[in-house]
Chain A
Amino acid sequence: MDKNVMLNQMLYRMEEVFWHELSDCAPWKTEYVGIDFIQAQDVQGKNEDEVIGSCIERIKASGLVEDIDYGIGGRDILLKLRVRGCQLMLKETMLRKSGIKPYNCPVANMIRDQLIEKLGYETTYLADMAADEKSGCCALKVAIFATPDKIGAVSEWSKE
């Protein structure tokens, strides 16, 4: 059996039951999924671009994804990620078929973790995840707060 299919099936079952237990709270509890890999990679960087770029380089090298584009906007708290060719897309498809909107992205978790660990960011939040199995792309909106005073820096993300 394809090991990647097997991995996706196992993650799907875990995320399905986690959602069943916690509903919309499930994504708040899964932010550590994936961080062990990135914490072992000695990511270096003095600013957002360097840390995010270094994370992307290592995640791509691992074979987990084919490519990741990113942009920062929304008064500097919106990190938009576009992930292509992710090896975990199958679990998102399986979740959607069982009526659950995909909610846990290890790729985003890794980048969020390194912003906190390497740059001392106050907190982050995976706000939206749109996995499109037809195009093979996943669009993510991640709120990143460098300092507490960035809480409440609102804008209309639909215009970004």
Chain B
Amino acid sequence: MPILDIMTSRKSIRRYNTDPVPDDLLDRILEAARWAPTGENYQPWRFIVVRDQETRNRIGDLAKVGSGSRMTAWYCLGHMQERFAGIKDEAKRAEVLRFMYSGEVSEFAKKSPVVIAVIGSLMEGSVDVPYDLSAAIENMLLMAHSLGLGGCWVHGPVATTRDAKKFKEILGIPTGMGEYKVIAYVSIGWAAEQRKYPRPKKELQDLVYWEKFGQKERPSHG
């Protein structure tokens, strides 16, 4: 499949069936991560592959509380209602909102066969660690999709400083702020949902400037 087709057909998958992810496919996903661009070739990334149910339950609970606490507050402030005003069916909108502010939206590590924690070493002189890790995550998601697997990039359980420390404790990662940065986990599994694609995207003409910021007219060249 052409690489642009892989990119445009990829969706974030949060519902998985119970079939295990074979090791050889998992290895290809991790190999894709290894080849992501990285400043000065520092390769600060480390990956913790988690299949253990109890560990995934704890990660799921942490993510639920993290996302749910923020979304509960946003709902109480009226922000969530504005964000989902486009859903015209009242009952459907109410259910979507409940799914969000309850934190259930981020709880799915419990039912994802594989969770891969993506962390970066801050101790090797590496620069801009989150950017390197983000590139690795993108490679993982694209590879998973190309193999027919679903995946999702989840920041919820590590979004706050306190939650990031809890996440590190769950996985035995040193908790010092100068040692490892936890950026996210990636869930991987066989999709149990079909999501519409491609997702609505802004037009390129609204995103691209030519030669200078704000210059939308494409200049002739050659």
What residues make up the interface of A, taking CB atoms closer than 8 Å to B? 25, 28-32, 74, 77-78, 116, 122-125, 127-128, 141, 143, 145, 148, 151-158
Contacts and interface: CB of A to CB of B under 8 A. Distances in A.
Contact of A148 (B61, B75, B76, B159): B61
B72 A157 contact: no
Interface stretch (B98-106, B116-124, B185-193, B197-205): B98-106
Interface in B67-95: 68-70, 72-78
Contacts of A154: 72, 75-76, 101
A155 B78 CA distance: 10
Contacts of A25: 159
A153 B73 CA distance: 9
Given A123-B66, A145-B69, A151-B102, 6 more contacts: A28-B161, A116-B162, A122-B69, A151-B64, A154-B75, A156-B76
A55 to B, nearest CB: 17
Q: Which size bracket describes the interface of B in this complex?
A: 20 to 34
Contacts, number: 73
B160 interface: yes
B133 to A, nearest CB: 15
B65 interface: yes
B74 to A, nearest CB: 7
Contacts of A77: 72, 76
Contacts of A148: 61, 64-65
Nearest to A154: B75
Most interface-central of B75, B77, B159 (chain A CB within 10 A): B77
Contacts of B160: 28-29, 31, 123, 125
A116 B162 CA distance: 10
A143 B161 contact: no
A31 to B, nearest CB: 6
Interface in B36-72: 61, 64-66, 68-70, 72
A108 B64 CA distance: 23
Nearest to A113: B162
Contacts of A29: 160-161
B76 to A, nearest CB: 4
A101 to B, nearest CB: 14
